Amino acid sequence: MTDFSWRDNADVVELRALLADVAAVDGRPSLPDGDGLPGEYRGGEYLIAVRGDTMVGCVHLNTAGDSAGRLVAELVVRPADRGQGVGADLVASLLDRTGITADPGDRLRIWAHGDQPAAARLAARFGFARVREMRRLRRDLTDDLPPTTLPDGVRLRAFRPGADEDAVTEVNHLAFAWHPEQGALTADDIRATEAEPWFDADGFLLAVNENDRLLGFHWTKVHPDAGDGAPIGEVYVVGVRPDAQGGGLGRGLTMAGLHHLRDSRGMRRAMLYVESDNAPALAVYHRLGFTLWDTDVQYGH
């Protein structure tokens, strides 16, 4: 028998163990160093499925929502317990909790990582439609990397904690006003991330002009395990102020970050996420040698 309960907090040890089991099969989510949870599993509410003494499934509901005001959920089922109705029961309880069944609209999004056929069938069963795709690309860093070339009058420097949060937030908002998650980044979010074990100010590269005005940035990240026991670097965020776009700054920042990941952090490969409908970004990344790894799908109701 499986018991389901909504909680304001989840047992971190039990949830992390569940996520580790999922990541071992699906390659996601990426678990942070230490004993914490991935950012997308913090705050909000949790629907926990327990069989015996084991957590076999979880829905994390981000009650703050995305920048469009939609609720966003992550749903996972332990691989050994899949195909037994746990996922369907989790979705049914989630819809009941949010009241979505009475008035669907576009008020709830659920992520399915890896574009699994089983997730597509479950989504269709409950009337969810495929509304968004996030592609994960990767690139080998052991070959020759193109040099970093910046526009005239632009220089790179490292992020300064306590001094650059507001400027980065401004540029990020201008560059990603259209993006449901990234566009909502706040200065407090950046300050909170500075306390994360993975944060590396030297790998948070800022492009500034002669007056130190921020034009763009490349925030890099290192994952200690990409699901296969080996680390991987990430092009975490590349943002360029709209009035500085079109002159090669985005490409230059991307290359600077890749060189940092390889030469300073010892990474032999890098990855990034990009929206499937962002044709200009996809074209740039493919020209830089990135190829498709896998796809995450967001279903809307």
Q: What is the pLDDT of residue 104?
A: 65
Amino acid at position 68, single letter: A
Q: What is the pLDDT of residue 102?
A: 66
CA dihedral 35, 41, 47, 52 (to 10 degrees): -30
Amino acid at position 26, single letter: D
CA–CA distance, 25 with 85 (Å, rounded to integer): 19
What burial letters (b/e) apply to 42-51, b meaning 16+ CB within 10 Å? eebbbbbbbe
Short-list 85, 88, 76, CA closest to 28: 76
Q: What is the pLDDT of residue 165?
A: 98
- Confidence (pTM): 0.86
Cα→Cα distances 119→129, 159, 165, Å: 11, 40, 38
204-208 sheet: strands from edge to edge: 2-7, 45-51, 54-62, 71-77, 108-113, 291-300, 129-140, 269-275, 232-240, 214-223, 204-208, 155-158
- For the chain, 301 residues long, give each residue's pLDDT as a single digit of tens: 899 999 999 999 999 999 999 988 888 888 887 888 988 898 899 999 999 999 999 999 999 888 788 899 999 999 999 999 999 999 999 999 998 876 666 889 999 988 889 999 999 999 999 999 999 999 999 988 999 999 999 999 999 999 999 999 999 999 998 887 787 889 999 999 999 889 999 999 999 999 999 999 999 999 988 777 789 999 999 999 999 998 999 999 999 999 999 999 999 999 999 999 988 889 989 999 999 999 999 999 7
Short-list 83, 76, 50, CA closest to 61: 76
